[in-house]
Amino acid sequence: MKKSLVVVESPAKARTIRKYLGNEFDVKASVGHIRDLPVQRLGVDIKKGFIPEYVDIKGKQKIISELKKAARGKEVIYLAPDPDREGEAIAWHIAEALKAKGRNFKRVLFHELTPKAIRYAIDHPEELSIERFESQQARRILDRLVGYQISPLLWDKVKRGLSAGRVQSVALRIIVQREREIFAFTPEEYWSLTAKLETDGREFSARLLRENQEKIELKTGERTQGIIDLIKNSPFVVDKVVSKERRRNPLPPFTTSQLQQEAFSRLRFPTRHTMSLAQKLYEGIELGTEGAVGLITYMRTDSVRVAGEAVNEVRGLIQDRFGESYLPSKPRSYRNKKGSQDAHEAIRPTSVLRSPEVVKQHLSSDLYALYELIWKRFVASQMKAALIDQTSADIKVGRFIFRATGSVIKFKGFLEVIGNASSNEREVLPPLKEGMKLDLKELLPKQHFTQPPPRFTEATLVKELEDNGIGRPSTYAAIISTLRDKEYIQPVKGQLAPTELGFLVNDLLVDNFPGIMNVEFTAGMESELDEVEEGKTNWSEVLKRFYGSFETDLHRAEKEMLSLKREGLKTEIKCDLCGSDMVLKWGRNGPFLSCSRYPKCRNAKDYIRDENGRIEAVKPETAETEEVCEKCGKPMVVKKGRYGPFLACSGYPECKNTRPVNGDGQEKPPPLPPGVEKNCEKCGSPLEVKRSRMGNLFIACTNYPKCKSIIPFPTGIKCPRKGCTGELVERPSKKGVFFGCSEFPKCRFTLRNRPVKQTCPQCGSPYLVESPPKGASVGSSDRVALKCPNKNCDYKVEPEPEP
């Protein structure tokens, strides 16, 4: 009997499924997509109805050949990539690559990787979904149209390597808008007044709430002190006591976005890390003798639905572990949000009987933490509500009312599993009755200031995107990662702040592409793409409607978009040399202020933004030295330039003499290395070691500028490339110092980090390389580690600790 072929997405998933299907199935992995739009061109025929051009992904030819070989003689092939739009696209492209006369393809959806679920899916295959594929295809083409046609504009106007995206750029706008709200915020002073009271030896707190039955607002310290003086000798009497029982219900099991939010809030996991861990838990973890087992259901979902079998299992566990009092009489059910896709269950354990304690020994600390979070949330979702006795007491003193609140957990319910993360249950009040007189221990005034809206964290940004219908849960991690990788945003104390590049790119896009940068418009596009998946609308019609206005904006932007490379963005700052306006430009090393009369006036300055977001020019730091300018006799000062510190004449701009720093700001160059001639071959003058502005050492003639002989500084290490007779020397570049072969251009071997003549004791490499701390430059004074350059060797020598 011939084996049947099952094609899945990842090797880890293949291993798990192969174990359960046995010898009658051959299981292969496509390792993600095998076909996509071409990298070097748009790949979409707009005039012919947005027909995409798919090509084999570079490097996937071997995998495609292996799949074709495995498909020989197979009449039915089961396509089982992930059960979502991307998985559907992968399945369609695999079917296209493997199609043959008489061959049928069946779509298999694994919502969880357990023996029963895998067998059921194989026994109940579906047809490939054209609607789901076309929905993914429309998204892919939309993203290509936006990215490949706006990004080149940013390369031309700002710098190469930037990107724009249909959803990514809207997410950036949301972050920038919040930052500007913070800039515009003006704090306002207010005060609170708390009374420390006592009865029967028990102290508690009450806060000033009302005056003459009206809510009181304390704007100043003087007003607060006036109230203190008025009431400090007056009796405090309990006016009213209200006690009530409050029910606190559990939350539903996780959707993707809720998991990302909770993992960030509780575990401080970035969204990308959360999704990577969840993928591993879904695809299978080796559990000793049990082998590879998928521990959770599919992790990309916005549904809170749970299979009846899983509900029955968790109810049994609750009864056995916690008792009948914790189990509701009927299973709990939860409603999906409007617009949610219900193709997959909520994220839950594949078997709740695999408790976190049972599998802990097989999981890394991060995998365990995430699995525990998922397991506890799912168990809690089917438990009884917590019951909390809450008491509030109004305490009268003259015409003022103070209020004390307290609560106690009467029945823990689901809190028995997840713990109590609420701040409401913070104080238990003593028994209070109406008319009871209380002893005043202390009146505590406190000054406050209103706070600006907080910056987004990864968790709150995910919530904002979800609430506004921007993107889909499966894309949030990639969106945030792209914004960080492109340096549009940066983490600041766990929050997301736009960089200067983020501000500038956002403003250019908002000015020139108001449609795609509009939150409501982007959310509407998501709804239309959902309708494609539901078969309610045609994918090409969606693209046609979008492209009409987008093309108009594109043509206008090509002509009118401001260039930060050339004309620059006008500011209110005046040039201190000629009085003209300064403009904000983007250069090789980032943003700077330049005189608008450049090149007639070459004044340029760094700048910062103040606490209100306004641009302020930064005066260049200079330090006088004892050296004298050989051209005009004025003192030389140390300045910081593109390649580090250098000496410049203090008579600038009349005298523009500069030279490298040899003492102030950098280490002095070393003596001539052994084996190097001491005199110049061209003129016979002595040679000396110098350091360039870029930081690299070189050997130069002392008769400069009459003799301009230069020799690269050798490291004493032979070039490791086989057959090469050269040696490694220091060389400069725009990005700093690197080390290359002296036989360049015949040999193009290079190293970024400095080589050290020391043999690796593990693999025998004739040299090691310095491994400086992150952010340090090559050759910096920071203590550095040494490591082997061989990728297959992990030898490393840590630096000596600070004395």
Enzyme catalytic residues: 298
Q: What's 229-290 look like in SS3?
A: HHHCCCCEEEEEEEEEEEEECCCCCECHHHHHHHHHHHHCCCHHHHHHHHHHHHHCEECHHH
What values do phi and psi take at 506, rounded to 5?
A: -60, -45
**Segment (H or E) for 196:** strand 189-199
Through-space distance between the first and last CA atoms of the chain, rounded to whole angstroms: 73
Q: Contact, 478 vs 270, CB < 8 A? A: no
Torsions phi, psi for 489 (to 5 deg): -135, 160
Give the burial string for 392-425 (b: 16+ CB within 10 Å, else e). bbbbbbeebbbebbbbeeebbbbbbbbeeeeeeb
Residue 746 exposure: Cα atoms within 13 Å on the Cβ side: 10
**Bridge partner residues of 8 (DSSP):** 29
3-state secondary structure string across 711-726: EECEEEEECCCCCCCC
Phi, psi at 713, each rounded to 5°: -80, 120
Which residue from 318, 290, 288 is spatially nearest to 417, judged by alpha carbons? 318
Q: At what angle do helices 168-184 and 519-533 cross, to 10 degrees?
A: 150
In Å, the largest CA–CA distance within the chain is: 107
Tell me the residue type at 173: R
Cis check: omega of the bond before 745, within 30 degrees of 0 = yes
Query: b/e string for 38-76 if b means 16 or more Cβ within 10 A?
Result: beeebbbeeeeebebebeebeebeebbeebeebbeebee
Looking at this protein, which amino acid is placed at residue 289? Answer: T
- Residue carrying structure tokens 């904006």: 553
Neighbours of 532 (CB within 10 A): 25
Exposed e or buried b for every residue in 274-283, given b needs 16+ CB within 10 A? Answer: bbebbbbbbb
Query: Tokens representing 574?
Result: 């005046």
The residues with which 490 forms a beta bridge, in sequence order, are 497
Closest CA to 256 of 573, 473, 111: 473
Decide: 703 and 695 in contact? Cβ < 8 Å.
no
Q: By the 8 A CB rule, do 165 and 476 touch?
A: no
Radius of gyration of the chain (CA): 34
In total, the chain counts a number of residues equal to: 803
Q: Which residue has the tokens 């690299």?
A: 696
Residue 412 C-beta-side C-alpha neighbours within 13 Å: 10
Nearest CA-CA partner of 370 in 352, 353, 349: 349
Cβ atoms of 288 and 359 closer than 8 Å:
no
CA dist., res. 245 & res. 408, Å (int): 10
- For residue 582, the cross-strand partners are 595
Beta strand 4-8 with 76-79: parallel, antiparallel or unpaired?
parallel
Q: Is 131 exposed, middle or buried (0-12, 13-18, 19+ CB in 10 A)?
A: middle
- Angular region, 684: left φ>0, alpha ψ -120 to 50, beta rest: left
State whether residue 93 is helix, strand or coil. Answer: helix
